[in-house]
């Protein structure tokens, strides 16, 4: 009828429950009194003809109401901790969003500055191309001496400027 080992489980359960409940049955009141010579005595039985203080054993049994109150308090504390954690994560998220917005704004400003610099560079390259096209023979050296360009030099400079303008100046 029962599987092997079931009797053992029930036996262990019965013994452990009896053991747990027997400790509260063993607990007794303790009597304390002082005799005529000033010596303190303890006993489980009250003394005859002497006034004794009764000391009951301290038990840690919780009533249902106190247990429920403690569990409610623990649950409330846990919920408060979760709310605080959520609040902290929202604050952290706000800080991250603020930092991201500042970074994006800085990147846009840098892109605008780079765009302005690129526009100036494109205008300069277009001017140089117009100069080589309209005045193909004049070139000023570093020393300030004007000399004529050879057709190969002129072709090389013009092609290089046209390529740079095509690559970099489509939007400007």
Look at phi and psi of residue 141 and say left if phi exceeds 0, alpha if psi is from -120 to 50, else beta: beta
pLDDT, tens digit, for every residue of 46-66? Answer: 777 777 777 766 655 656 777
Greatest CA separation found in the chain?
139
Give the pLDDT band (50/70/90) at residue 159.
very high
Collapsing DSSP to helix, strand or coil, 140 comes out as: strand
Out of 78-82, 119-123, 130-134, 143-147, which region has the weakest mean confidence (pLDDT)? 143-147
**DSSP strand pairing (30-34 vs 53-55):** antiparallel
How far is residue 84's CA from residue 42's CA, in Å, rounded to a whole number?
53
Residue 28 and residue 43 in contact, taking contact as beta carbons nearer than 8 Å: no
pTM of this structure: 0.38
pLDDT, tens digit, for every residue of 3-52? Answer: 666 677 778 878 877 776 666 556 667 778 888 888 888 877 777 777 77
Collapsing DSSP to helix, strand or coil, 142 comes out as: coil
Percent of the chain whose predicted confidence (pLDDT) is above 90: 1
Nearest residue to 55 via CA among 43, 47, 63, 40 = 43
CB half-sphere exposure, 59, CA atoms < 13 A? 13
- Is 172's pLDDT higher than 80? no
Out of 60-64, 67-71, 145-149, which region has the weakest mean confidence (pLDDT)? 60-64
Q: Which residues contact 107 (CB under 8 A, 6 or more apart)?
A: none
Task: Show the tokens assigned to 17.
Answer: 């429950």
Percent of the chain whose predicted confidence (pLDDT) is above 70: 83
Residue at token pair 């939007």: 171
């Amino acid at each position: 009828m029962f599987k092997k080992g079931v009797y053992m489980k029930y036996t262990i359960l019965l013994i452990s429950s009896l053991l747990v409940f027997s400790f509260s049955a063993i607990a007794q009141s303790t009597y304390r009194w002082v005799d005529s010579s000033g010596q303190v005595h303890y006993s489980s039985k009250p003394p005859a003809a002497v006034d004794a203080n009764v000391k009951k054993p301290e038990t840690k049994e919780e009533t249902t109401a106190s247990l429920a109150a403690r569990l409610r308090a623990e649950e409330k504390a846990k919920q408060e901790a979760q709310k605080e954690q959520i609040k902290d994560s929202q604050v952290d998220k706000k800080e991250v969003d603020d930092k991201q917005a500042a970074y994006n704004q800085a990147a846009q400003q840098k892109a605008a500055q780079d765009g302005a610099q690129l526009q100036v560079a494109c205008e300069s390259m277009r001017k140089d191309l117009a100069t080589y096209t309209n005045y193909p023979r004049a070139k000023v050296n570093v020393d300030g001496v004007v000399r004529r360009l050879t057709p190969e030099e002129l072709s090389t400079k013009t092609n290089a400027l046209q390529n740079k303008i095509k690559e970099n100046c489509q939007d400007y």
